[in-house]
Amino acid sequence: MSLAVVSVSTLILGSCTTNADSPGLEYMPDMYRSPAIEPYVDYGEVRGREVTDFKMKLSAMTPPSGTVAYHGTDSSTVSLMLPYFRKANIAFRETHGLYGADLSVADEYTLAAADKNPYKLTMDNSEEVFKKGKELYTTMCQHCHGEKGDGNGPMVVSGAYAGVPNYADRSALSDGQMFYSIYYGKGAMGSHRSQLNKKEIWTLVHYVRKFQNADYGKFDATGMQVAAAAPADSLKATKK
């Protein structure tokens, strides 16, 4: 009897712990405590053991090609979020790590010169668009492109990166080329398509235009936009 008491006491006391973060001993914890999922774990290197065949294997499940996430029932928003119809050049597979992507042999960056920003700027939404644009730019772009878009962000000033352009010198770029560059990357800049949705990228295009023309996003008394997006659109603006 005494042996049983001692055994039970040992079991009970043994489950106690001084670690405030520990639940103590648990009976079959996997039945009610789900193991953490590691969607981005590098299967090529596990516990100091490297398997080169698995280095490029994606651990997270990706949606089927061409599928569209649910974005509500507003037709303009749904249209804006449809899969991007332009493809990255096949060279982007090596230069920007776009392995497994649907690539093109054509120079679609040049073709994108004809693309217009489908996210229309109006008197009613301009304040909201530029507010959101500033938020996105500060988070995603400012570290390299600088607060004023002059290419002198902290990463450039520190010497970590070089060759970041001044947006004022890129005013001839079309909206489509700016979108393409952000979506797929260009030069030393990587692709941002996994970090920003299409509406957010088009919002950034509007915001960057402000660096190129202070009058961009302003409207006259009739509701017409004062400044065009690019020189090619100058005839559509009421004044320069």
Domains of the chain: 75-236 (1.10.760.10)
Distance of CA 154 to the CA centre of its chain: 20
Tokens linked to 226: 């004062």
Strand pairing category for 49-50 and 45-46: antiparallel
Contact call for residues 193 and 184 (beta carbons, < 8 A): yes
Split at pLDDT 50, 70, 90, the class of 50 is confident
Q: For residue 29, what pLDDT is reported?
A: 66
pLDDT in tens, 156-200: 999 998 889 999 999 899 999 999 999 999 998 999 998 999 999
Residue 179 bridge partners (DSSP): none
How far apart CA 112 and CA 100 sit, in angstroms, is 22
Instruction: Look at residue 152 in the predicted model and tell me its pLDDT.
Output: 94
Mean pLDDT in residue range 63-79: 82
d(CA 178, CA 185) in angstroms, rounded, equals 10
Neighbours of 119 (CB within 10 A): 20
- Residue 151: the pLDDT is 94
Classify 97 as helix, strand or coil: coil
Helix (H, G, I), strand (E, B) or coil at 104: strand
Q: Check residue 234 and give its pLDDT.
A: 43
- Please write the tens of the pLDDT for every residue from 77-93: 899 998 899 999 999 99
- The better pLDDT of the pair 235, 31 is held by 31
Which tens digit of pLDDT belongs to each residue from 117-160? 999 999 999 999 999 999 999 999 999 999 999 999 999 999 99
Distances (CA, A) of 221 to 210, 225, 229: 20, 10, 19
Q: What is the pLDDT of residue 227?
A: 76
- Contact 155/143 with Cβ under 8 angstroms? yes
Is the confidence at residue 208, as pLDDT, over 50? yes
